[in-house]
Structure 1
Amino acid sequence: MNRDPNRGIFQIGDILNNTYKIDQVLGRGGTSEVYRAKSEISGRVVALKALRLEYSRNEDFLALMTREEEMREIRHDAVVRYYDNQRTNAGLVYLVMDYVEGPGLDQKIKDGGMSAADLLVVARRVTEGLIAAHAKNIVHRDLSPDNIILRHGKPSDAVIIDFGIAKDTNPGAETIVGNEFAGKYAYAAPEQLNGQTDERADIYALGALLLAAFNGKPPNIGANPMEVIQRKALPLDTSGVPEPLKSLIDKMTHPDREARLQTARAVLAEIDQPTGSDVDEAEIDFGDETEERTVIAPRPTTVKPAAKAEPALTPAAPKKTGGNGAKYGILAALAASVAGAGVFFFGYLTPVSGPVYPVADPYTLVAARPADGSAQIFGNVPSEAARDDMLALVDELGGSGDLTLSTGDITPTWGEDIVQIIGQVSVLPEWSVLADGNVVKITGITDDAAEQSRLNAAFSAANMPAGLTGTAEITLNLPILPASDLTPVLQSQADCGALQLVDTPPLGYPAGGQVLVLGQVASAETLSSLTGALTDKIGDRDLVMNVEVLNPTLCLMSTVLPAAPSGGIAIKFLNGADNSMNPKGQYLVGDNPVIDVVIPADTTDGFLFVSALDVSGNVFHLLPNILITDNSVASLRAGQAGEVTVRVAYPLADAADGTKLAFTVDDTTLGKTQVVVIHADDQIFDGLRPTTESADSFAAALQNAVGTVQSLDSSILTTAQP
């Protein structure tokens, strides 16, 4: 009963729904796995994307799989062909699609990049695929180098894959699934950071990945959220890229989507008839290359002069204060708008009317302290008092900021409310406050469960300051959890052999990590208790229980059965009423199970021992027994070559004369029965075992068994009420 700790959703050789035979594992992630398979009917080679069982029952993930299935309406050689979702008898959901053989552009980037000539070929091919997808109102949203495969290594046979946004949790899969943003943001369009996505986002992403494939490295977008926001407002650095590829990328990746090539057809036209670059080539300091990080940002802000405002005697510039951290300006788009329009800030008009500032639309503010950096704040504020209070808070944390006095469509107490919110979250080691008008998003991480509860309650919808709406997500981030802290829990709950931790990180489990447990337990009560005890220990980490519920008899047997490999001896279940196959091995009260053992062609000597271990604690010896005493392979073959099927439990009608063994299901032994086949060199027991004996006596006999066991194969038969 020992199980391979590396076992996946499916195994090599598995045949799904009597059609697809698994022959290769292509990739494994936290939520899904991808396999290559071959249709047993048509011989067609396909790729299967399978959800793990816990996600196969999750409506959100099923919706994402259904979204991918809708891609089958697209018929183009540059778009992977999707077929349909299927569900196995065990409840596992998988998506069938074409198998595309060849390297991805991500591999080409790792290998140092590609030539401009080859990339223009790739650009044409992928653009044609996007034209087909966009015609069906389908936007990829996550176009990146790993989603472009060069079939057989040919640029002219590039294929777009993975139109589903559900990404696994492997390191490097930095994609957010939600309402705000989806996409690996080194390749995501600036507007995607604000949740705005249309076909122009795919155009930007294609241009960005072409640049990465030429340079042999991803675009540099900054090391922290503030830099990301700033750099996304700037053109990509295409210096060194030869024409016409340079101009094409420039036009595809303009930060302003209104100035970008607007459609995939326009991109194709530019490839066919290049018109040159119209992007400002002013030198830009792009800094050092930095790996991708995830960010959610407010929309870029534009500032308009206040209507009918009279100039003050002395312009009042926004106050800046700095700390130990580096200073960051406001959004580049905001700065450009202010400078270009010659906007300045107005002083006091009269004691009655108060100061009048330029109008900001939308009205945004970002304040954040990342885990590995100092606090920063920038955006719009409605008053000097609010500005000074916010900057003072950030300054106390050793950070810096740049705030613009402006008016907008906000609640009268907006400034005081945001100061209050920042003051409350500033105690956290990592936090962010994103305000877009009167909508506020608050996030933070703490290692104190009481503090997490307090802050989430303080920022609930019921307790949000009047006039503001939004969400708060204060998560519990426990320190590294050593695997040794979980070992006592596993040992205390183990009642059916040892429970194991699989893929244990060398230093322990980080926050947000995954704890995978493998093994068997004797009851559903034990599984529930084990799950609860582990959940209390691991905090916000994911718990994956690959634990099988057996019963006391099977658990006892798992400790005494020989530790032998599989011999390829198949166990088949049939229905006694009509001799039909029962591949699931599931029977109801009153049914007559029939059991066949299939001896492989290369098993020609030795002896077979077949027993059924049921939930009641009884063991039924199907071979040998008083009715069939000769269990030698040679006798069972009776001179036949190749595979030989031996029946060890018969239909009732065949056993009516008392010369054969047959049984029916009654309501006293419902549950799992394990049928085991032991293949040994010689007789391993001292004499013939009784047809029925207790699990304890059989366990004692196994412990005293002699001879060499060559293999052990088993299968589960399940009985239940109608």
Structure 2
Amino acid sequence: MIDSRPMDTFQPGDVLNNTYRIEAVLGRGGTSEVYKARSEISGRLAALKVLKAEFSANDDYLVLLTREEEIREIRHDAVVRYSENHRTQDGLVYLVMDYVDGPGLDRKLREGPMTAEDLLTICRRVSEGLEAAHKRNIVHRDLSPDNIILRNGDPAEAVIIDFGIAKDTNPGAETIVGNEFAGKYAYAAPEQLNGQTDARSDIYSLGAMLLANFRGTSPDVGKNPMEVVRKKGEPLDTSGVPEPLKTLIDRMAAPDPGARFQTAAEVLGYLRDHPPEAATDPDATVISPPPRAPDPAPAPKPAPPPPEPRKSRGGLVGLLVVVALVLGGVGGYLGGLFDGFLGPKYPLADPYALAVDKPADAPPRAIGHVPSEQTLAALRDLMADLSGTAELSLASGDIADSWGTDVMATLSELRNLDEWHMVLDGNAAQVGGETSDADLHAHLSRAFADGLPGALTGSADIVLVPVFLPAGEVNALLDRLADCGPLATPGVTAVGYGPQSAIRVTGRVAETATRIGLYDALSAIAGERTVIVDVEVLNPTLCLIESNLPKAPIGGIGIDFIVGDRNEPNPSGRFFVGENPIIDILLPADVTDGYLTVSILDVSGNVYHLLPNLNRQENAVAALRDGQDGPVRVRVAYSVDEAARNNRIGFTVDDSSLGKSKVIVLHSSTPLFDGMRPTSESASGYATALRDHVEDNRASILSLDSRILTTAAP
């Protein structure tokens, strides 16, 4: 726990949505805060991750939080369980997850070294959680001691938390907020510095973390940016680490991804063959014969090929780490340090890095190494001519003799683009840019058709960005991805979307994954435009029924939920496993005739008819009122006890199918169907019956009211 501050979003004692009472602050980050809270309904503890106010209206961050919510599909005790997102009346968005009580490995790291036996136990537990996540193509990307909590202080109950920057590993998937390197340098795998991440990156991070906690100190990643790159290419120093922990870390944290354990399952296999009991006490005096050489590691599997480059600024990833590393004021590093001793030979730079870029709405900048005074002067003059800045160091390196001339020739072609970048590691270069000028785009396409000038290797990715994004292009994408009826684009003009226009989408989708897919696909074509995916997420069953429901106005008929075993109102409509939902229909005073049809569309794909059904066939409003005037409450789902006594419908929530169900109330002037429907039936059967009825009796439908009922694990 940490002390509360007056500027925190919530204070202890605050109650969110009449459900969660804040007890303490657990952590603060750049975009969010985490609170310990207790449900006023169930009494259970939860951790709430709350987006700060300035981010709660930003769809980028909302989709990122939604991605984190999707990780609830990982069912494993070693992975923190997520529930779902909620929004307060003030518009703040928060994510509900399990509260895990215990110290983090970061605290254990500060307390000093841990035993090899405990670390082997933690490795097994965390690897099991990673295996479950990786099977769903989810990579953590930021595994470090502060993201592992030992529930009740027990290494065997380690839990992975904070999947906030986790990403899908399907080709082309990215984090939502930018495409920047996410992991912490101390624990990040070397390939993460180049924007390449897969399941093996998590395995590296776990190995680095085990070594840090064994020694009681974080890994040494160097004192300046260049050292970070160099050290990440070297094996971790595991001298003095006892077996089998030493070999485990060596094979988890090999700099080359192909030389590592390729999967969490392989790590678990090694642990099964080398149980914790085999670990030795490093402080004990042991007389033993010289150790035999460890079994040779299996031949490394080839690393998967990198994804195809995207036609946008996403192409910056790869060598952009060079930019990230030198931004910290490394312009003067090594610059002329040894000139007095070595004469004209400049200090050696490895890697030999240069990054020059011009953002769309900012001056250009050049950062890194150059090989000569002539190149230094030419590049400074170019930056000054464009009102930019240069932080450059003279250095020697493994580059071609024509390197400086080739770089300046490339930059002279790029300078007229709206935005551009050039990132070099030695002779290898990544070049990209955007323009709305078709003639300039054609010229550059010809100029770079055969590659980059001189000895530079790589290619140029110059993208033509139209001034207007055609509405037809957006609509075609929506038609392809829609899975719950048509999606709308309110506010679009006849000419499409201008450079500053927002792309807003409304409607319904069947799954959160569809919403994320919409956001990603639209962002890929949006350029600088804001993307707002304002859709209601249902499920496939609800979408099937929704597409066949009659078009009818809202009638003002209310739907109330009550927790049956406690007889308490449940305004949230959220029920946990083991609870007994009671459902009441509230008839307004002016609804005095006609017929009610009440059904619940279950998340599992079934429809349950609460009224009428074989055990309760009377559904005329007059009969339901039974002579009462004014508003009348009609119960359609009962407590389990009353259902058993009176042959009524009652049910409890089990964990076989959790999610959103929908209660639908249709008010019609005549009975909705010619005969009695079965108490339960498939969604497809009910959809067909609805469609057939509406075709013949459209005018008889007076109103349609509905409400979502959500079931969840406690």
Give the TM-score normalised by structure 1. 0.45
TM-score, length basis structure 2: 0.45
Structure ranking higher in helix proportion: 2
